[in-house]
Amino acid sequence: MFNHFDEQGQAIMVDVSGKTCTLRTATAQARVLLKPATLAAILEGSVAKGDVLGVARLAGIAAAKKTPDLIPLSHPLAIHHAAIEFRHDPATGELRIEATVRAFERTGVEMEAMTAASVAALTVYDMCKGSDKSIAIAEVVLMFKEGGKSGTYRRGES
C-alpha cells in the first residue's frame, strides 16, 4: 500500500533509475482563513505597509527547491518552473494560495507543489500572527497533476 517501504516494511527511496523522464506538472492549493480586516490590510499593504504576499510568494518558491531536504524519502529533483498565485475573498477573509511546479523528470512534482503552498501559507501566518494568532491554514490539497504513468489527476473528479 505504501510504496516508500520495501517488502520488509523498511523505508527506502524508491528506485526510479529505470523510469523515463517526462514533463511533470503539479498544482497544490492552500487556503488561509483570516479576519476580513487582516486580509484587507494585506491587500492594501502590498503598496504601502509591506508586501505580505510578495514575501510569502518567495518563501513558497524557495521551499519548492528545498523539498528533497524536507520530505525524507523524496527524490532530489531539478525543478524547471515554480509559480505562486493568490486569490482572495474580501467578504470571508479567505486567501487561496495556488502553487504550480513543473519539471522534466523521472518522478512527479506533487510534493514540491504541496510544500510550496504550505510554506507560503506558513509565511502568511508568520507575518500576521502579531495581530491575530488564531489564523488557520484551512486546507492544503493537491489540485492537479499531469505527466506520469498514473495519468492526469484533477481534484474533485473521481
Select from 142, 143, 133 the least CA-distant residue to 35: 133
Q: Determine which residue in the list 70, 87, 89, 90 makes contact with a second copy, applying CB under 8 A.
A: 70
Query: Would you say 80 is a known binding-site residue?
Result: no
Q: Does 153 bind a second copy (CB under 8 A)?
A: yes
Q: Was 46 annotated as part of a binding site?
A: no
The reply on whether position 152 binds a second copy by CB under 8 A is no
Q: 118 among the known binding-site residues? A: no
Q: Output 89 or 155, the one with its CB closest to a second copy.
A: 155
Distance (Å, whole) CA 22 – CA 117: 23
Q: Per CB under 8 A, which of residues 40..69 are in contact with a second copy?
A: 41-42, 45, 47-52, 54-55, 57-59, 61-66, 68-69
6 forms part of the interface with a second copy (CB under 8 A):
yes
- Would you name the residues annotated as active-site residues? 126
16 touching a second copy, by CB under 8 A: yes
Query: Do 135 and 122 touch, CB atoms closer than 8 A?
Result: no
13 belongs to the binding site for a second copy (CB under 8 A) = yes
Binding of a second copy at residue 92 (CB under 8 A)?
no
Shortest reach from residue 71's CB to a second copy, in Å: 5
Residue 158 to residues 35, 111, 154, 155, Cα–Cα distance (Å): 33, 21, 8, 8
| Backbone dihedral angles phi then psi of residue 118, each to the nearest 5 degrees | -65, -45
44 burial (CB, 10 Å; 0-12 / 13-18 / 19+) is exposed
Determine whether the annotation assigns residue 74 to a binding site: yes
Q: Does residue 99 touch a second copy according to CB under 8 A?
A: no
Q: Is 55 exposed, middle or buried (0-12, 13-18, 19+ CB in 10 A)?
A: middle
C-alpha to C-alpha distance for 119 and 93, rounded to whole angstroms: 19
Binding-site annotation: residue ranges for substrate? 73-75, 111-112
